[in-house]
Amino acid sequence: MNKQVRIYDTTLRDGTQGEGVSLSVDDKVKIARKLDELGVHYIEGGWPGSNPKDMNFFDKVKELDLQNSVITAFGSTRRSGIKASDDPNLNRLIQSGVKAAAIFGKTWDFHVTEALQTTLEENLQMIYDSILFLKEQGLEVIFDAEHFFDGYKNNEEYAIQAILKAQEAGADCITLCDTNGGSLPKEIEDIVKDVKEKVSTQVGIHCHNDGELAVANTLSAVRAGASHVQGTINGYGERCGNANLVSLLPNLQLKMGYSCIGSDPMQELVSISKFVHEIANQVPASNQPFVGNSAFAHKGGMHVSAVLKHPETYEHIKPEVLGNKRRVLVSELSGQSNLMFKAEEMGLTLDKNDPKVKEIIEKIKEMENLGYHYEAAEASFLLLVKKLLGEDITFFELDHFKILTDKESSDELTTEAVVKVKVNEEVVMTAAEGNGPVNALDHALRKALGEFYPVIHKMYLSDYKVRVLDEGEATASKVRVLIESSDGRNTWSTIGVSGNIIEASWHALVDSIRYHFMKQDEELEIIKKDTVKPPVGVNNH
């Protein structure tokens, strides 16, 4: 099959209309680079007429030398009653230096008279003039037919007239927008079919997710003949968001046989989705289709035993194709097959007839009952299992710590921690400042342990999350702390649960360090076998 669908990304414009989504110019540039690697055909960078930040982006993005994507600027048809060439908004599109522009215009009669407060005739003229002006300046022009489906349902004749005007003015693509996001797949399909009979210009589709149908509506439009698809990474956008490109790409390309992007970039889908979540400071939903951590995670014991024999029994697609991977969850619902799989994945040798297997499962259930959640903290899980198997993974022990936080009226707050730990019968005491109790504790502990284990300086905490478990009691409730650490190559997650946030953080912190030391030890063993000598800077303890 060789049906081509062109992908138009609007994460940087429509995506930032989502509640809680805010991107700096640098953020936008970083995301644009990733989108180019993914191979989308267009990147809508912003609305140069609406704010200086967007104009700044268009300047910066020129330095990027993108390989695959055309940078597009967004705007609207000219104001009523003036010439297109006098419209400041349209002129800013040209000043932005882009090769392609998307301008929206009204196609719903109600919006023309009520929101724009102009005549139906003048609106048609605004569409025509604006597109013609941009075409004369040599731009590729995409016409976004705002509220097209609501307009068509309300006044079919006028909606069609409006897009025919866009065609007459020379638009390169006419994108039908379900701006309010309330249409149903069958409606979209029927209306796009009708448009395809009346219009010879390329037809595009732009859906919103207010009915939880944006992906399905987009697929309906493509089946009916649309060949330009607009959406955002992770479905960010105003209200309930835009059509999610991260779900559209595998559906279109892997299931429906359309050609959108290459198959190599498809394997970067998980990584790009997470990258954008991170830059936009959004917490990824673990159940996000295709790319979520849970998307190929099996929990029920029955599913697990079947999927280990034949993945296709409970997987609709191969996770590797998108850069995702199969996971087997260990939880209170786990059976033996979950634990055995997990243990093997972590390189542990576990005999399923060993009575310790039962003991480990019991311990997990007990800890999960206390609020631990090992699905999210596999390093702590590994340490727990090793401890139950009798391995010594202690490395150091706490004697005591004290943390003092002090605030004088409007002055800055200071926090200091004093830590006393024992390492191989030696006792070391240190103090350090930090910009919070956990940070101070982390600093003091590093100072103390650094004397014995210089490898501690190779690791750092890369994320710190706090979750209140019993929300009814607020600051008095139990908290779960998740710490993510990294040594630059690998990351690992650890957990602590306690009524006291400091205690919970302490447990997660200690697990994180112990895991790092344990891994360094293992690597050291491997290196020793190969080279006899330990590498410089690593203490052999």
**Closer CB to a second copy, residue 66 or residue 461?**
461
**For residue 492, what are the contacts with CB-CB under 8 A and spacing of at least 6?**
378, 379, 484, 485, 486, 512, 515, 516
**Cα-only R_g, the chain:** 29
Cα distances from 55 to residues 87, 185, 328, 443, 463, in angstroms, run: 17, 36, 47, 42, 33
**Span from 90-98, 119-127, 288-296, 352-360 in contact with a second copy (CB under 8 A):** 288-296
519 vs 18: CA distance, rounded Å:
41
Contact 357, 339 (CB under 8 A): yes
Candidate residues 165, 206, 298, 514; the one interacting with a second copy per rule CB under 8 A: 298
Q: 202: which 2 tokens?
A: 């390329």
**Closer CB to a second copy, residue 450 or residue 499?**
499
* Helix, coil or strand: residue 274: helix
| Binding of a second copy by 423 (CB under 8 A) | no
| DSSP class per residue in 186-248 | HHHHHHHHHHHHH--SEEEEEEB-TTS-HHHHHHHHHHTT--EEEEBGGG--STT-B-BHHHH
| Binding of a second copy by 450 (CB under 8 A) | no
The dihedrals phi and psi of 184, each to the nearest 5 degrees, come to: -105, 155
| Binding of a second copy by 427 (CB under 8 A) | no
Candidate residues 99, 198, 316, 528; the one interacting with a second copy per rule CB under 8 A: 316
x/- site string to a second copy, residues 237 to 266, per CB under 8 A? -xxxx--x--x--xx---xx----------
CB 361 to a second copy: min, Å: 13
304 vs 309: CA distance, rounded Å:
9
Site size toward a second copy (CB under 8 A) is 126
| Binding of a second copy by 232 (CB under 8 A) | no
Q: Is the dihedral of CA 65, 66, 70, 74 positive or negative?
A: negative
Candidate residues 67, 200, 353, 409; the one interacting with a second copy per rule CB under 8 A: 409
Contact 159, 152 (CB under 8 A): yes
CB 430 to a second copy: min, Å: 15
Candidate residues 436, 521, 538, 541; the one interacting with a second copy per rule CB under 8 A: 436
| Binding of a second copy by 476 (CB under 8 A) | yes
**Span from 26-34, 92-100, 308-316, 447-455 in contact with a second copy (CB under 8 A):** 308-316
| Binding of a second copy by 230 (CB under 8 A) | no
Query: Which helix (H) or strand (E) covers residue 531, if one does?
Result: helix 501-531
Window 42-101: residues binding a second copy (CB under 8 A): none
The dihedrals phi and psi of 162, each to the nearest 5 degrees, come to: -65, -45
Q: How far apart are the first and last CA of the chain?
A: 61
Contact 180, 209 (CB under 8 A): no
Window 109-128: residues binding a second copy (CB under 8 A): 110-111, 114-115
**Closer CB to a second copy, residue 63 or residue 412?**
412
**Span from 63-71, 198-206, 265-273, 295-303 in contact with a second copy (CB under 8 A):** 295-303
CB 166 to a second copy: min, Å: 20
CB 532 to a second copy: min, Å: 37
Candidate residues 261, 501, 513, 518; the one interacting with a second copy per rule CB under 8 A: 501
Q: 7: which 2 tokens?
A: 């992908």
Q: Identify the CA nearest to 59 among candidates 44, 75, 48.
A: 48
* Helix, coil or strand: residue 10: coil
**Closer CB to a second copy, residue 111 or residue 342?**
111
| Binding of a second copy by 531 (CB under 8 A) | no
| Binding of a second copy by 465 (CB under 8 A) | yes
**Span from 83-91, 132-140, 287-295, 450-458 in contact with a second copy (CB under 8 A):** 287-295
CB 293 to a second copy: min, Å: 7
Full 3-state SS string of 294-352: CCCEECCHHHHHHHHHCHHHCCCCCHHHHCCCCEECCCCCCCHHHHHHHHHHCCCCCCC
358 vs 261: CA distance, rounded Å:
48
Candidate residues 140, 289, 524, 538; the one interacting with a second copy per rule CB under 8 A: 289
**Closer CB to a second copy, residue 70 or residue 317?**
317
CB 535 to a second copy: min, Å: 27
| Binding of a second copy by 294 (CB under 8 A) | yes
**Span from 57-65, 79-87, 137-145, 281-289 in contact with a second copy (CB under 8 A):** 281-289
Window 191-220: residues binding a second copy (CB under 8 A): 209-213, 215-217, 219-220
- Sequence length of the chain is 541
| DSSP class per residue in 38-68 | HT-SEEEEE-TTT-HHHHHHHHHHGGG--SS
| Binding of a second copy by 399 (CB under 8 A) | yes
| Binding of a second copy by 152 (CB under 8 A) | no
| Binding of a second copy by 321 (CB under 8 A) | no
Candidate residues 26, 320, 406, 525; the one interacting with a second copy per rule CB under 8 A: 406
Q: 353: which 2 tokens?
A: 């007839």
**Closer CB to a second copy, residue 82 or residue 466?**
466
Contact 201, 225 (CB under 8 A): no
**Span from 66-74, 83-91, 378-386, 429-437 in contact with a second copy (CB under 8 A):** 429-437
